[in-house]
């Protein structure tokens, strides 16, 4: 059985496995979420349902429209007896001029967050976090959805192998001490950049290794950009990530790690020792006396 859930009021009660947070930040003027209660949106909703009729889903959770393309979130429940928390999701792009469509990402525990601008003088993208599995040690990924004017379709940023940027891995292999830190940073000029830092400490076996990256958009070509931070710039970037002063709400983690705390407080305050030494027996005598 397939269904289209009523939006807003019933959505909060229905989404147990698919956690979607629509924040207060206003979307671009050309974007609008469909209201499943509104008669004026029924034609678009019916169009999307028919376009995805051949695909594997049980519920449509969200439909957002910009120009001639819809950003659609569906969920799949294996059986009517399955628990809601076992649902999986898929985000689609659906054409509103033809019935062509394509999946963008899939997983569990989708969190739609805020609209962010990843380069100067460009429109905002809808950011999201999601996991790859539920009954496991999950990987958490970050991506952003945007309307591609060239293809008249929605797309997701920084995807490789069907997944977004890996920002957190709960499955720590045995071996080195692995620390993860990430943050979406708001820049003074109004655009945002995602930073990820993975630090591997091998103890006395060999020197530690750092993998530090920045994710944004090329300001000239507008293409997605992944930049490895060089050793020259790394100290300042690490310090900024750990401080977390310019982070976007809901898009930072690892700032409380011992690695960050050591970086922020490299010389902890040392208190004077006031206890007497263990061999003190109170038999001191002034110089020159026997």
| DSSP for 228-290, written as a single string | EPPTTTHHHHHHHHHH-TTEEEEEEE-TTSHHHHHHH-SSPPPPPP-SPPTT--S----TT--
Cβ atoms 128, 165 nearer than 8 A: no
Neighbours of 192 (CB within 10 A): 24
Q: Which stretches within the chain are classed as H helix? A: 9-14, 42-51, 234-243, 258-264
CA distance 226 to 155: 17
pTM: 0.84
* DSSP-derived secondary structure letter, 11: H
Residue-level pLDDT at 266: 82
Low-confidence ranges of the chain (pLDDT < 70): 1-26, 268-290
CA distance 4 to 51: 14
Residue-level pLDDT at 284: 54
Strand order in the sheet with 224-228: 224-228, 209-217, 192-201, 177-186, 247-253
pLDDT tens digit sequence for 231-289:
999 999 999 999 998 899 899 999 999 999 999 998 755 556 666 665 555 555 555 65
The HSE-up count of residue 269 (CA atoms within 13 Å, CB side) is 2
Cβ atoms 61, 34 nearer than 8 A: no
CA distance 141 to 175: 23
Residue-level pLDDT at 12: 37
Extents of the domains making up the chain: 1-171, 172-264
């Amino acid at each position: 059985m397939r269904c289209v859930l009523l939006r807003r009021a019933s959505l909060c009660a229905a989404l147990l496995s698919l956690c979607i947070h629509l924040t207060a930040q206003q979307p671009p003027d050309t974007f609008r979420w469909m209201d499943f209660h509104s008669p004026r949106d029924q034609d678009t909703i019916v169009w999307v349902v028919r376009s995805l009729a051949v695909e594997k889903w049980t519920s449509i959770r969200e439909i957002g429209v910009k120009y001639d393309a819809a950003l659609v979130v569906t969920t799949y429940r294996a059986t009517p007896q399955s628990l809601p928390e076992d649902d999986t999701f898929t985000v689609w792009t659906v054409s509103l001029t033809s019935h062509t469509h394509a999946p963008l990402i899939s997983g569990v525990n989708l969190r739609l967050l805020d609209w962010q601008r990843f380069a100067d003088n460009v429109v905002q993208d809808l950011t999201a976090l999601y996991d790859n599995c539920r009954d496991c040690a999950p990987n958490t990924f970050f991506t952003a959805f945007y309307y591609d004017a060239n293809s008249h379709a929605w797309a997701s940023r920084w995807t490789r192998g069907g997944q977004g940027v890996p920002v957190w891995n709960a499955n720590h292999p045995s071996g080195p001490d692995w620390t993860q830190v990430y943050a979406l940073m708001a820049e003074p000029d109004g655009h945002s950049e995602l930073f990820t830092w993975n630090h591997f400490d091998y103890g006395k076996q060999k020197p530690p290794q750092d993998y530090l990256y920045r994710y944004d958009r090329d300001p000239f070509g507008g293409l997605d950009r992944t930049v490895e931070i060089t050793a020259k710039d790394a100290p300042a970037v690490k310090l900024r990530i750990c401080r977390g002063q310019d982070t976007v709400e809901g898009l930072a983690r690892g700032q409380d790690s011992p690695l960050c705390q050591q970086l922020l407080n490299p010389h902890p305050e040392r208190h004077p020792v006031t206890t007497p030494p263990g061999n003190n027996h109170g038999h001191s005598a002034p110089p020159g006396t026997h």
